[in-house]
């Protein structure tokens, strides 16, 4: 242990602890902008400076280690003056139009400038704004970039895609797409992790809320909204509702008040995906198609984009089942449209997703007998949902729990856990077991596929299961860096599996790029636990027991993998 004094408090910390962490562990927060523990400890912003008694120059606390006998002040007049100058210099190169910024209210730069009582910028402002394709789902505003390098590090170290790089030198140094590429041509998975780890408004999703408002105001359109599993775990964070109060039923109430005609839970179509995917797995496995590579889940468009750009030879091993988002849209524009006597083109389907990549996934076209548009017409993130609630002046405490509409009302616990890493695999195994044996397993029989923790370092879990004497080897991975490691081990023959679930975002969709941002906090683990709790509270925990899914097959699709199901619910992941 090392003993030192911070702000007059005597403390002991483990050797090699940084001064920043030593202070935090002892209830003394030191402000910072660029710091991300274990990922970005480069002292680029110099906001975390502290005074070390006996040393003339201030030192940065994020990359200097606590040493025996140090006496440190984190907020002395000298520290405050220097920190203030450093923030003023950052502001001199930053577009400070906070009122129109997507991150206003949850921006670390805004907060630190306010905390330091900076009410004027004494330096001449030099703003550099580059052109950017405003139609792309991920938007970068170079005029807001503070060169903290977090996006570069998250993409390099956690997602191992290296989409971002440093460009220019000296005061012209900035961040841009690697290799001077346009973002559309870069191998960006659209996981959005760079957005959720940006301390300011330099990165954001394309705003699609106006499209949704327009559709809601259009009397000729029937607006049908679906809400993804992971959204219920996080929307309360931005609205002040506790996790147990922030139910999906209240989101449905809000959507109806805003102007949605019908509201549904994506959990219904997660069950539908399981029906198709579990049956597809059993068919491909028993047909001996999975000898060299396993079948991969395909509901995460971040992963599908990654597979296409990094491992194109594996695309044919992706499940052909569409994601729940896409299946929902397809069912809405056919089965549901017929039920309510509308034409597909009069139905406008909206998804509320924790995800940025879903905005690109929606481009998929829907053909059945004839072209019926897109499965999904607009995708908004959890953050955009909350923005819409605010602009509709909805007070969260006035919301009531209302059920989703019929006839796609029921969802099971198996569909709920789709939003957390391991959930798709667990749900699929519950149904695959029933397909193989004709009876249900214990609902928690496949707990072994759950990740021990949902963070980037514990992103892989392997399990070997035996169903009716058949051995099934599974792996579950989240985070694209972890995925690359796993796939490379597979390519070298070090590991072999039959069925693999991949989610691009660490922890799965609960940690998605469209979720509320809390700078420096990783909440995927807490949100994931909420989904497991909801699953264990559910009356029905098997997708194949969902009565509305059974009705859909009886009335419309026939059976899983039928011709109609193939036309509407499957895709070839065209390259
Ligand atoms: Fe997901 Fe999925 S779980 S991909 O994370 O399969 O986005 O929540 O909606 O489609 O159901 C996201 C979440 C979501 C789909 C489902
Ligand atoms: Fe989107 Fe979920 Fe995949 Fe992240 S893990 S890219 S939120 S689908």
**Domains defined along the chain, listed by start:** 2-91 (3.10.20.740), 98-108+120-204 (3.30.70.20), 209-268+325-398 (3.40.50.1780), 275-322+411-569 (3.40.950.10)
Which is the closest atom of ligand 1 to the Cα of 269?
A: 11
Ligand 1 proximity of 354 Cβ (cutoff 6 Å): yes
Ligand lying nearest the CA atom of residue 269: 1
φ and ψ of 165, to 5 deg: -150, 165
Mutate to test the pocket of ligand 1, among 418, 476, 505 (most ligand atoms within 8 A of CB): 418
Torsion over CA: 125, 129, 134, 139 (sign):
negative
**pLDDT reported for residue 567:** 95
**pLDDT reported for residue 573:** 84
Catalytic residue, from 15, 67, 363, 365: name it: 365
Contact call for residues 499 and 474 (beta carbons, < 8 A)? yes
Rounded distance from Cα 205 to ligand 1 centre (Å): 17
Q: Which residues contact 239 (CB under 8 A, 6 or more apart)?
A: 246, 386, 389, 396
**pLDDT reported for residue 171:** 73
What gap in Å lies between CA 251 and CA 221, rounded to an integer?
21
88 catalytic? Reply is no
| Rg (the chain; Cα; Å) | 25
What gap in Å lies between CA 212 and CA 351, rounded to an integer?
10
φ and ψ of 223, to 5 deg: -90, 120
Rounded distance from Cα 187 to ligand 1 centre (Å): 22
Rounded distance from Cα 329 to ligand 2 centre (Å): 18
What gap in Å lies between CA 297 and CA 376, rounded to an integer?
20
Ligand 1 atom 6: the closest Cα is on which residue? 299
Choose among 274, 558, 269, 226: nearest CA to 411. 269
**pLDDT reported for residue 425:** 96
Question: What does the DSSP assignment read for 492-540?
Answer: TTS---SEEEEESSTTSGGG-TTS---TT---HHHHHHHHHHHHHH-S-
358 catalytic? Reply is yes
- Token readout for 274 is 């399981």
Ligand lying nearest the CA atom of residue 191: 2
Ligand 1 proximity of 358 Cβ (cutoff 6 Å): yes
365 catalytic? Reply is yes
Give the residue carrying structure tokens 């903290």.
Answer: 148
439 catalytic? Reply is no
What gap in Å lies between CA 3 and CA 535, rounded to an integer?
47
369 catalytic? Reply is no
Helix count (H) and strand count (E) of the chain? 20, 19
ipTM, 2 dp: 0.92
Catalytic residue, from 280, 384, 426, 545: name it: 280
In this structure, the dihedral spanned by the alpha carbons of residues 437, 442, 446 and 447, taken in order and rounded to 10 degrees, is 180
299 catalytic? Reply is yes
Mutate to test the pocket of ligand 2, among 226, 228, 234, 512 (most ligand atoms within 8 A of CB): 512
Ligand lying nearest the CA atom of residue 480: 2
Inter-axis angle of helices 382-391 and 209-217, nearest 10: 50
Contact call for residues 270 and 427 (beta carbons, < 8 A)? yes
Element of type H or E holding 296: strand 295-296
Looking at residue 420, the DSSP 8-state letter turns out to be S
Ligand 1 proximity of 364 Cβ (cutoff 6 Å): no
Ligand 1 proximity of 110 Cβ (cutoff 6 Å): no
Please give the average pLDDT of every successive group of 10 residues along the chain, which has 575 residues. 97 97 97 95 95 96 97 97 97 94 96 95 84 97 95 97 91 88 97 98 98 98 98 96 96 98 98 98 96 96 98 97 97 96 96 98 86 93 98 97 96 96 96 96 93 61 93 95 96 96 96 96 92 96 98 97 96 77
- Token readout for 464 is 């070997």
What gap in Å lies between CA 402 and CA 414, rounded to an integer?
21
Catalytic residue, from 21, 51, 276, 277: name it: 277
CB atoms within 10 A of CB 278: 27
Rounded distance from Cα 219 to ligand 2 centre (Å): 33
280 catalytic? Reply is yes
The three-state secondary structure class of 164 is strand
**pLDDT reported for residue 454:** 47
What gap in Å lies between CA 384 and CA 512, rounded to an integer?
13
Ligand 2 proximity of 357 Cβ (cutoff 6 Å): yes
Mutate to test the pocket of ligand 1, among 306, 502, 509, 532 (most ligand atoms within 8 A of CB): 509
361 catalytic? Reply is yes
Question: DSSP E strands: which ranges in 362-469?
Answer: 365-368, 370-374, 378-381, 460-467
The three-state secondary structure class of 225 is strand
**CA angle, 267 as apex, 309 and 564 as ends, to 5°?**
70
Give the rounded distance of the alpha carbon of 64 from its chain centre: 32
Q: Which residues contact 178 (CB under 8 A, 6 or more apart)?
A: 162, 163, 164, 165, 186
φ and ψ of 290, to 5 deg: -110, 35
The three-state secondary structure class of 131 is coil
The three-state secondary structure class of 480 is helix
**pLDDT reported for residue 453:** 58
Ligand 1 proximity of 382 Cβ (cutoff 6 Å): no
User: Biggest alpha carbon distance in the chain?
Assistant: 80
Ligand 1 proximity of 504 Cβ (cutoff 6 Å): no
What gap in Å lies between CA 493 and CA 453, rounded to an integer?
26
């Amino acid at each position: 242990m090392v003993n030192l004094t911070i702000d007059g408090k005597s403390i002991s910390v483990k050797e090699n602890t940084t001064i920043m962490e030593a202070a935090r562990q002892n209830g003394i927060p030191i402000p910072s902008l660029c710091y991300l523990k274990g990922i970005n400890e480069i002292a680029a912003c110099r906001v975390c400076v502290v005074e070390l008694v006996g040393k003339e120059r201030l030192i940065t606390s994020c990359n200097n280690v606590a040493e025996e006998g140090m006496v440190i002040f984190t907020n002395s007049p000298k520290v405050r003056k220097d920190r203030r100058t450093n923030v003023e210099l950052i502001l001199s190169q930053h577009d400070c139009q906070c009122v129109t910024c997507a991150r206003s209210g949850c921006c670390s730069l805004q907060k630190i400038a306010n905390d330091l009582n900076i009410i004027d910028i004494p330096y001449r402002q030099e703003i550099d704004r580059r052109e950017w394709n405003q139609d792309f789902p991920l938007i970068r505003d170079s005029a807001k970039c503070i060169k903290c390098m977090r996006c570069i590090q998250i993409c390099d170290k956690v997602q191992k895609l290296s989409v971002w790089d440093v460009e220019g030198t000296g005061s012209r140094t900035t961040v841009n797409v690697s290799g001077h590429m346009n973002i559309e041509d870069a191998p960006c998975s659209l996981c959005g992790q760079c957005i959720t780890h940006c301390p300011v408004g330099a990165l954001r999703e394309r705003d699609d809320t106006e499209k949704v408002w327009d559709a809601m105001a259009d009397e000729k359109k029937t607006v049908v909204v679906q809400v993804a599993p992971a959204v219920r775990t996080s929307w309360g964070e931005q609205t002040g509702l506790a996790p147990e109060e922030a139910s999906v039923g209240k989101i449905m109430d809000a959507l109806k008040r805003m102007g949605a005609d019908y509201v549904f839970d994506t959990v219904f179509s997660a069950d539908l995906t399981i029906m198709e995917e579990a049956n597809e797995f059993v068919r491909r496995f028993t047909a001996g198609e999975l000898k060299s590579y396993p079948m991969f889940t395909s509901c995460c468009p971040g992963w599908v984009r990654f597979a296409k750009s990094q491992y194109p030879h594996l695309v044919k091993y992706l499940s052909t089942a569409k994601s729940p988002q896409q299946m929902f849209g397809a069912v809405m524009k056919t089965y549901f449209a017929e039920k309510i006597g509308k034409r597909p083109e009069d139905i406008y389907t909206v998804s509320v997703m924790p995800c940025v990549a879903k905005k690109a996934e929606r481009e998929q076209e829907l053909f059945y007998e004839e072209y019926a548009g897109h499965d999904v017409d607009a995708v908004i993130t959890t953050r955009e949902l909350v923005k819409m609630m605010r602009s509709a002046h909805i007070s969260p405490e006035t919301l009531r729990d209302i059920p989703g509409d019929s006839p796609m009302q029921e969802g099971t616990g198996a569909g709920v856990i789709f939003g957390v890493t391991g959930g798709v695999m667990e749900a699929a195994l519950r149904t695959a077991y029933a397909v193989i044996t004709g009876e249900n397993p214990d609902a928690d029989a496949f707990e072994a596929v759950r990740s021990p923790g949902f963070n980037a370092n514990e992103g892989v879990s392997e399990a070997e299961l035996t169903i009716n004497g058949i051995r099934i080897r599974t792996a579950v991975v989240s985070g694209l860096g972890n995925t690359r490691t796993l796939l490379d081990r597979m390519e070298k023959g070090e590991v072999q599996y039959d069925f693999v679930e991949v989610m691009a975002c660490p922890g799965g969709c609960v940690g998605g790029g469209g979720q509320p941002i809390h700078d420096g906090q990783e909440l995927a683990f807490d949100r994931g636990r909420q989904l497991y709790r909801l699953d264990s509270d559910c009356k029905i925990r098997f997708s194949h027991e969902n009565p509305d899914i059974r009705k859909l097959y009886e009335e419309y699709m026939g059976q899983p993998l039928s011709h109609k199901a193939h036309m509407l619910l499957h895709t070839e992941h065209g390259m």
